[in-house]
Chains A and B, each alone.
Chain A
Amino acid sequence: MSQYHLQKLCRAVNNDPAAREKYLADPKSLISQFELTDGERQALATLDIDALYDLGVHPLLLKPFTVINGISQDDYLAALNPESGK
């Protein structure tokens, strides 16, 4: 049930200024504080949006999380719809 913790991390980055600052300065340091699987850590480390979506991050956590990571809306949608091409 680490989907819970994966979403908890995204929520912390989205909503908690201190966690956000820590994440933006050193993502791995914040990631290490959460109970995650290797696959989840890998998806976070590489900002693999499609994988994070499939791992069950709620769209209203994932979308703002990517905004904070500087990912444009176009890139977000392209990542979620790889077959549509871009």
Chain B
Amino acid sequence: MTIVFAAGVSHAPGITAWPEIAPVEQKDAVYAAYAEVANDLATSGAEAVVIFSSEHWTNFFLDHMPAFCVGRADHYDGPVEPWLGIPRTRVPGDAQLGADLLNALYDAGIDPSYSDELELDHGTMVPVHFLLSDNMKPIVPIMLNTLSEPMPSAGSCFRFGTTVGKALADSKKKVAVIASGGLSHAPGERTHGKIDGKFDAEFITNLTARNDDALRNLSHERMAAAGGGAHEVRAWIALAGAVQNWHGRMISYEAIKPWATGYGLMEFDPVA
């Protein structure tokens, strides 16, 4: 077993782009939660970090939209957004681990796209900034199409994550796995600011109580009803597939209206 740490985090950009518009107690709670997850990641001894993240029109467009894309570069630059409030930087990549994961996926009959040059937007840079700035480790970004229909189903994301988890179990490295995205939000839509607390509560419970059938069967329509950004919980479902005997433990959940997001951070613990 070489997955030494697993967590799901929200990445909505208000956290750094316009932190001051959130109620201060909510902002403080999210910042404290990110600091706690960062500390736990650092003490886990992880030597590399696999990040299931969401495409936001940064690397892919409607000329080519892969369902899954595994990064295989030795570095990545980001953020692409000049307004994000995170300085542009170069993040080290673990090209060998990316290649190993790709080979394991193809051997298992799962054939994702791959890239030796991914640009990072807030979907990956917010977690990198908060979790790795003081403890930088090489990353393997895995982009999911959570953006443009059709998207990979929840069941497909879970199965993809399962294969990644098995490959990491065979790896000699100690690896942290992060899911980035969600929970409910409708960024840029007419309903921007709407947060679906019922969706978020059910999703959280399905991870803490490990109702994997509910995760695998979460419908596209139910995610869509919780806002376009809720499609990003596919990254958390992939993570759940990677750590199947681990139970979620909520670190923080805040429905932050000014950031227009149900902001969740969760760690996962192996069941003894």
Central interface residue in B62, B187, B188, by most chain A CB within 10 Å: B188
Does A15 lie within 8 Å of B57, measured CB to CB?
yes
| Chain B 81-96 near chain A by CB (<8 Å), digits 1 or 0 | 1110000000000000
With A58-B148, A59-B228, A68-B83 already in contact, the answer to whether A53 and B62 are too (CB < 8 A) is: no
Does A4 lie within 8 Å of B62, measured CB to CB?
yes
Which residues from chain B contact A81 at a C-beta distance below 8 Å? Answer: 190
Does A8 lie within 8 Å of B190, measured CB to CB?
no
Residues 67 to 89 of chain B near chain A (Cβ within 8 Å): 80-83
Does A15 lie within 8 Å of B188, measured CB to CB?
no
With A4-B62, A67-B83 already in contact, the answer to whether A61 and B192 are too (CB < 8 A) is: no
Which residues from chain A contact B187 at a C-beta distance below 8 Å? Answer: 59-60, 63
Does A15 lie within 8 Å of B192, measured CB to CB?
no
* Chain B residue nearest in CB terms to A3: B62
* Chain B residue nearest in CB terms to A59: B188
Q: Nearest chain B CB to A79's CB is how many angstroms away?
A: 10
With A11-B61, A67-B83, A68-B83 already in contact, the answer to whether A60 and B192 are too (CB < 8 A) is: no
Task: Tell yes or no: B42 within 8 A of A by CB.
Answer: no
Does B83 lie within 8 Å of A61, measured CB to CB?
no
A84 to B26, CA, bound (A): 27
Give how many A residues have a beta carbon under 8 Å from the other chain's beta carbons. Answer: 22
Residues 46 to 79 of chain A near chain B (Cβ within 8 Å): 53, 58-64, 67-68, 73, 76-77
Task: Tell yes or no: B116 within 8 A of A by CB.
Answer: no
With A63-B187, A64-B81, A68-B83 already in contact, the answer to whether A15 and B193 are too (CB < 8 A) is: no
Which of B62, B80, B190, B228 is close to A60, meaning CB atoms less than 8 Å apart?
A: B228
Does A14 lie within 8 Å of B57, measured CB to CB?
yes
Does A15 lie within 8 Å of B228, measured CB to CB?
no
A4 to B148, CA, bound (A): 13
Main secondary structure of the interface of A (DSSP, over half): helix
Which residues from chain B contact A11 at a C-beta distance below 8 Å? Answer: 57, 61
| Chain B 114-151 near chain A by CB (<8 Å), digits 1 or 0 | 00000100000000000000000000000000011000
Does A60 lie within 8 Å of B57, measured CB to CB?
yes
Which residues from chain B contact A68 at a C-beta distance below 8 Å? Answer: 82-83
A77 to B21, CA, bound (A): 15
Task: Tell yes or no: B56 within 8 A of A by CB.
Answer: yes
A69 to B61, CA, bound (A): 21
Using a CB–CB cutoff of 8 Å, the interface residues on chain B facing chain A are 18, 56-58, 61-62, 80-83, 119, 147-148, 186-190, 192-193, 228
Query: Given A60-B57, A80-B189, A81-B190, 12 other A-B contacts at CB below 8 A?
Result: A7-B62, A14-B80, A14-B81, A15-B119, A58-B147, A58-B148, A59-B189, A61-B57, A63-B188, A63-B192, A64-B188, A67-B83
> A-B pairs with the 6 shortest C-beta distances?
A59-B188, A63-B188, A59-B189, A80-B190, A67-B83, A11-B57
16 A-B residue pairs with Cβ-Cβ distance under 8 Å, sorted by A, are: A7-B62, A14-B80, A14-B81, A15-B80, A15-B119, A58-B148, A59-B186, A59-B189, A59-B192, A60-B147, A61-B57, A62-B188, A63-B192, A67-B83, A76-B192, A80-B190
